[in-house]
Chains A and B, each alone.
Chain A
């Protein structure tokens, strides 16, 4: 056996948009173990519940992460609504679903770009991000913000989208979908992409389940787990089917996300077709008393917001568990036995969102 050496990866590294540190234990070019250490982005925002009133904390919840900010705000609001027994109007549910799915498309396209960059495919990176600007334009037109939307509130949503605008959005999706399929074609069928991804970073179904993989990381290994199946917001009405791949390698995880882009487009189209007219919010009276675990599907997997109130306008406790945190043990599993040159691709394949993870 050759001598073992430990090589640091991060916190500042060209493929990482955010800091995480991995100690890679190497034998020649083979990684035998990876020891992650975190804490570079920890802000301690959960403690702010004691300083901000519960309706204001939506803004803090949204800023847990700038990529899936809308879903963070929505999950927190759903928790408070459950504690306070608020009946959110159906139109608000549909609008939340539409914005969630646009966020998912923007997040997946962002990830596809970064992933292409990690395998040295600069042109594909640029093209994914060019396409992503279409989604950001829609979000900006309908909510006012490109990456932090601020359109969700306890009891509903802050602003409506007119039916005319919704029809126009649905019409624009056709052209967008065409461009998406051109992009998907490269990710799924290009030989050089395949040679970088197929068989790299294997995670078996049992390992995925045992280590607690969620989201596309789990679904790429055949674990059909998706919180949208629980039917929160309008997903119950829309008849949701999760996207599952069996390969368990980087290619399968990429394929899950590529296929989810199309399923998100389909969900948005259906939601626009079926959205009912009516109110977009209910009046919130009193303060929350009680506790609730609110769960939703983020682009990276299952997101949990725990809220606990004692009848005052400040919550006692908020706890956020994000998918990247649960996807770190599967990542360590994938890295064991891989080659050093594949480390950036494998790390990116779980779609790490460190800002989320460390809160």
Chain B
């Protein structure tokens, strides 16, 4: 837990989810689970955030919004896909308007399965994301190995 030296802020976006995972993400922020003890706050502004928490299987209309938000978040950034819909499309995989997973649109660093994902697993996923965030930051500081952090390497 030595990497908990900063206060990473999260941005939560609902990309065609049923709400189940969204209310569990919010439950993480409230007194029983309280991720604020890790210095984590929920923010509405992409420019203020480090961790992008996305739920749902992504539909046609959400696609551009997600890309847009992702591009606005400054580097280094990590993406956490919360719930089975965000991971693979889940029960809605066969629906005509579902892309089937956030990783079809943007690189994902951590997958949190579950329908709905439990707050405990969401917190676990976010704490994992904190480690990845630090790795990316360290990599950005090294002049040789690429300036831009890429996602999709760790589960």
Binding site for B on A (CB under 8 A): 11-15, 17-19, 39-45, 47-48, 51, 59-60, 63-67, 69, 110, 113, 125-127, 129-130, 133, 136, 145-148, 353-356
Contacts and interface: CB of A to CB of B under 8 A. Distances in A.
A59 B91 contact: yes
Interface residues on B, range: 35 or more
B23 A41 contact: no
Contact of A130 (B30, B45, B62): B30
A129 B42 CA distance: 15
B16 A110 contact: no
A39 B31 contact: no
Nearest to A39: B61
Most buried by B among A65, A66, A126: A66
Contact of B19 (A51, A113, A355): A355
Would you call the interface of chain A mostly helix, strand, loop, or mixed? loop
Contact of B95 (A40, A43, A69, A110): A43
A129 B61 CA distance: 31
A60 B91 contact: yes
9 contacts: A14-B43, A18-B22, A41-B16, A42-B61, A43-B97, A59-B91, A66-B19, A67-B23, A110-B23
Given A19-B65, A39-B61, A42-B97, A12 B13 contact: yes
Contacts of A356: 19
Contacts of A39: 59, 61
B56 interface: yes
B144 interface: no
A136 to B, nearest CB: 8
A276 to B, nearest CB: 32
A110 B23 CA distance: 8
A19 B63 CA distance: 13
Given A12-B69, A130-B30, A45 B19 contact: no
Given A18-B19, A42-B59, A65-B19, A130 B65 contact: no
